[in-house]
Amino acid sequence: MRIFKNIQKASIVFLLLSLFQIGCKKDFLDEYNPANRTTDNFYVDAAGLDALVNSCYPLLRDITQSRQLTLRGTDLFTANGWGGVFYGLPNQDDNGLEQYDIRLNSTWGDLSGYWDNLYKEINRCNTVLTRQNNFVGVSQAVLNSRIGEAKFLRALSYFWLVQQWGDVPMPLTESLAGTLTANKTLAKDVYTQIVTDLTACVATMPVTQTDNGRITQGAAKFLLAKVLLTRGWNFNNSLGGSPADFTAALKLCDEIIASNLYPLEAKWADLFPIHPKNVTAAQPAMAASVAVANVSKEVILAVQYANPAYYNGDGNLDPAKGLIGNNMHSQFYPGPSGIAQAGGATLWYTKLQGGGFNPTWAAYRMYDPQLDTRYDGTFNSVCYATIANTTTLSSVNNNILTTYPAPLVYAIGDTTAIVMPWNTPVTLAADRGKNQVGGTKKYSVNNLSEIVGYNPTAGVKDNMFWAAPMFWKFFQPGVSYNDGFSTYNDPIFRSAEVYLMAAEAIVKGGTGAVLGTADVYYNKVLDRALGTANAGKTPNRALNPEKGTEDPINVLGYRATPANISIDMILDESGREFLGESMRWYDLKRTQTIGTRAVKYNPWVGYGLNGVQQFNAAKHYLRPIPQSMIDVTLPKITQNPGY
């Protein structure tokens, strides 16, 4: 018996000895990864190709939302951080983006963010192009489109890079191992590559795509036209441009117009969601208006944002970790709703999340508030209570009562504050709110001129938060406060701009225009904005939009004639038409007008450092290479001049 028992016990030893094998198996150390695949075993067929090309799109969201680099420091948008001047300090607490001072240097974070995203995008496109022969079971037509999409997005990324930084490194193949080398390619060679890629796109891309939002031949033509127009200006004689570029750009614009694939919307407002007073009641109509605006034929290319939000992925993050969504509704100026101090007042229309892009006061005065439909479409002058509340008024006006009367009771939909257009200010005390001496209105009433604005000696009196109309062009109703994103697609190319590009090409000497002289192209855009009732009329902007003191006296008409058409006028018009849409800095850089327009219209650019204007055309038309690049390159990548 004992023998038997011991055999039993010994057999346990054998059992355990057999476990020994677990560690000895040859494949024991192979990695098991059921949750993910690798580039090499996934990018092999049609599904892999589609998923890879699709992944080149979401970064457009990150890149186009880098508005610091494309809106700030221009003539139309300015920062909200006015504390520095308020306290009489040499600098405001800002990053120098607008003051063009020493703080605008290589360590500035938004700079590297933009740079990094563009190169990340380029590497994704390069992955498509490097592996283009590896995908089996894909039709030639689909392959042509996918290769074209990759080439287009790469060209677009390089176009943004070369405008911001000039000479830049230009990798054209997928990164498979890290390299510390990043040698610069001359800007003119980058342009040559861009033109080559886009020319190929124009030749092979489909005219339409079943997926609305994919790159088409039309988008390639638009971009090529803009690239050629930019090269024609031949910044610093470094782009390899020539006058022939303007003619080529003009020809492409005329082709786009003649194709009739992208007709102008009859009503400018139809390009955007509608903006009702009572958001709750009008929800269905508003949601429908977003869907309509999203499929407008005028839009040649829009960065897509979807519902369900799961697809609103940040191009840098797994959607489980981060969503980006369209934030256009939340990045711009929230208006005077704070005056009503009701938590649910109009402020929440815009859900300001901190982008803090405030139009300069000059921007408001560029419009004719009565004739030009774009004024009311872009700005909301009247604030409404969106919840019932009991609160007091406050105002920017100096003439405030020292002791406030009883708090006011608001019902949903009641007006809480208004800002008068620059050319129709209130003058009578009785037209003011009850918070002011002699005021009778139950809401706060402010004149645009009460934004005291930039004053080199006295500083600003107060910040603009109180007294300028809210920017509500991209407002989308029904997005919840915490994690809602707008599903309005961001139109980055629309055919109205084709007309203005053509006008610019003609002014710069381009020949062969189909429609006529430059003013003809310009007035097409203007007349659509005036609407059928006012088409042909001459709207007025302020003569000196940077000065509130002349309201409403000195004005200037902005209808184009063969005699008055100029680059400045075209820039005014693109400002009105595309406020917040266009990446304004690129327009000013291309036309070299920061030194004239931004210095004049943007208080901070003019204020500079301690009141001394700092913008330097020899330096600031190129951005500094990010310090993070300089730190890790071998040999060190050279910094742009002046930084």
Partner 1 sequence: MRKILLLIVLMCCSASILWAQTRQVSGKVNNESGAPLVGASITVKGSTKGVVTDAQGKFTIAVPTKGNTVLVVSSVGFTNQELSVNNQNNLSVKLASESKALDDVVVVGYGSVKKKDLTGAVGSVKAAEIVRGNPANATQALQGQVPGVVITKLSNKPGALWSIAIRGENTITPDPNANGAKNLTLTSSGQQFMGTEPLVVIDGIVGGKLQDINPADIETIDILKDASSTAIYGSRGANGVVIISSKRGATGKPRVTLDSYYGLKTPAHLPEMQNAQQWYKTAIEDASLNLGYAVTPISVFNVNELAIINAGKSTDVQRSLTQTGVNTGNTLAISGGNGGTSYRVSGGYIQEVGMTPNTNYKKYNMNAALVSQIAKFLKVGLTLYENYSTNPTGSLEVPRTVYRTRPTATLYYADLVDPAAGGDLAIGPVNGYAVKMGNNSSMNPLLEASSLANYTWTRNVSSQMGNGYIEATFLKNFTFKTSLSGSYQLAKQDEYRGKYSKSINLGAPRASVENDYNMSYTIDNQLSYNLQKGKSKLNITALQSAFKTNTEFNLVAVTGLPYNSFWYNLQSQTGTPTIASGFTQRQLSSYMGRLNYTFNDKYLFTFTGRSDGSSVLAADHKYAFFPSGAFAWKLGDEKFIKKIAAISDLKLRVSYGQVGNSVVSPYSTAATLLTTNYDFQQTGVAGLAPNNLPNQDLGWERSQELNLGLNLGLFNNRVSLTMEVYNRSTKDLIMKEALPTTNGFSSVTANVGKVSNKGIEILLNTVNVATKNLTWTTSINFAKNINKVEELPNGAMYGWSGSTNPENILAVGYPLKSFLYYKSAGIWQLADSVLAKSYGAVPGSVRIVDQNNDGKISSGVLGQDDRVILGTQLPNFTMGMTNRVSFRNFDFSVMMYYRNGTMYKNDFLSNYVQDYNGGWGRLNVNYWTRNNPSNEMWGMGVAKSNSDAIYYEDASFLRINDVTMGYNMPKAKLEKLGIDRLRFYFQLVNPARFTKFRGNDPEYNGGGYQDDFEAINYTFGVNVGF
Nearest to 499 by CA among 474, 473, 540, 528: 528
Positive or negative torsion for Cα 186, 191, 194, 195? negative
Residue 284 lies near partner 1 (rule: CB under 8 A): no
Residue 629 lies near partner 1 (rule: CB under 8 A): yes
Cβ(166)–Cβ(190) below 8 Å: no
Task: Write each residue from 333 to 372 as x if it is in contact with partner 1 (CB under 8 A), else as -, in one continuous string.
Answer: ----------x-----------------------------
Write the single-letter amino acid at 477: P
Residue from 104, 138, 182, 371 binding partner 1 (CB under 8 A) = 182
The size of the chain, in residues, is 643
Residue 89 lies near partner 1 (rule: CB under 8 A): yes
Residue 413 lies near partner 1 (rule: CB under 8 A): no
CA distance 241 to 243: 7
Locate the DSSP E strands across 255-410. Answer: 299-303, 358-359, 379-380, 382-384, 389-391, 408-410
Segment contacting partner 1 by CB under 8 A, of 4-12, 495-503, 518-526, 552-560? 4-12
Residue 634 lies near partner 1 (rule: CB under 8 A): yes
Number of residues lying near partner 1 (CB under 8 A): 116
CA distance 531 to 527: 6
The 8 Å CB, 24+ separation contacts for 65-68 are 65/324, 65/327, 65/331, 66/110, 66/113, 66/114, 66/117, 67/331, 67/355, 67/357, 67/583, 68/95, 68/97, 68/110
CB 48, min distance to partner 1, A: 8
Residue 238 lies near partner 1 (rule: CB under 8 A): no
Nearer to partner 1, 12 or 533 (CB): 12
Residue from 82, 119, 384, 422 binding partner 1 (CB under 8 A) = 119
Residue 28 lies near partner 1 (rule: CB under 8 A): yes
Cβ(70)–Cβ(585) below 8 Å: yes
Structure letter (DSSP) for residue 138: -
Residue 212 lies near partner 1 (rule: CB under 8 A): yes
Residue 237 lies near partner 1 (rule: CB under 8 A): no
Residue from 17, 207, 553, 563 binding partner 1 (CB under 8 A) = 17
Site for partner 1 in 387-406 (CB under 8 A): 387-391
Residue from 196, 512, 631, 638 binding partner 1 (CB under 8 A) = 631
Segment contacting partner 1 by CB under 8 A, of 52-60, 143-151, 217-225, 446-454? 52-60
Pairing mode of beta strands 389-391, 408-410: antiparallel
Segment contacting partner 1 by CB under 8 A, of 260-268, 316-324, 544-552, 611-619? 316-324
Site for partner 1 in 125-164 (CB under 8 A): 126-127
Segment contacting partner 1 by CB under 8 A, of 2-10, 236-244, 503-511, 512-520? 2-10
Nearest to 119 by CA among 43, 66, 59: 59
Residue 462 lies near partner 1 (rule: CB under 8 A): no
Nearer to partner 1, 230 or 394 (CB): 394
Residue from 172, 186, 292, 306 binding partner 1 (CB under 8 A) = 306
Contacts of residue 621, Cβ cutoff 8 Å, sequence gap at least 6: 235, 236, 589, 592, 594
Structure letter (DSSP) for residue 465: G
Site for partner 1 in 479-518 (CB under 8 A): 480-483, 487, 489
CB 420, min distance to partner 1, A: 26
Segment contacting partner 1 by CB under 8 A, of 140-148, 255-263, 317-325, 563-571? 317-325
CA distance 423 to 263: 33
Tokens of 354: 């901190």
Nearer to partner 1, 403 or 427 (CB): 403
Tokens of 622: 């190129």
For the chain, the maximum distance between any two Cα atoms, rounded to a whole number of angstroms, is: 119
CA distance 90 to 460: 13
Tokens of 313: 């992925």
Nearer to partner 1, 300 or 503 (CB): 300
Residue from 44, 46, 81, 105 binding partner 1 (CB under 8 A) = 105
Beta-bridge partner residues of 389: 410
Segment contacting partner 1 by CB under 8 A, of 18-26, 242-250, 552-560, 572-580? 18-26
Nearer to partner 1, 132 or 307 (CB): 307
Integer CA distances (angstroms), 425 to 405, 516, 551, in order: 25, 40, 8
CB 620, min distance to partner 1, A: 18
Cβ(556)–Cβ(542) below 8 Å: yes
CA distance 167 to 240: 12
CB 268, min distance to partner 1, A: 22
Residue from 281, 429, 437, 632 binding partner 1 (CB under 8 A) = 632
Residue 478 lies near partner 1 (rule: CB under 8 A): no
Tokens of 131: 């592996």
Nearer to partner 1, 200 or 309 (CB): 309
CA distance 265 to 292: 11
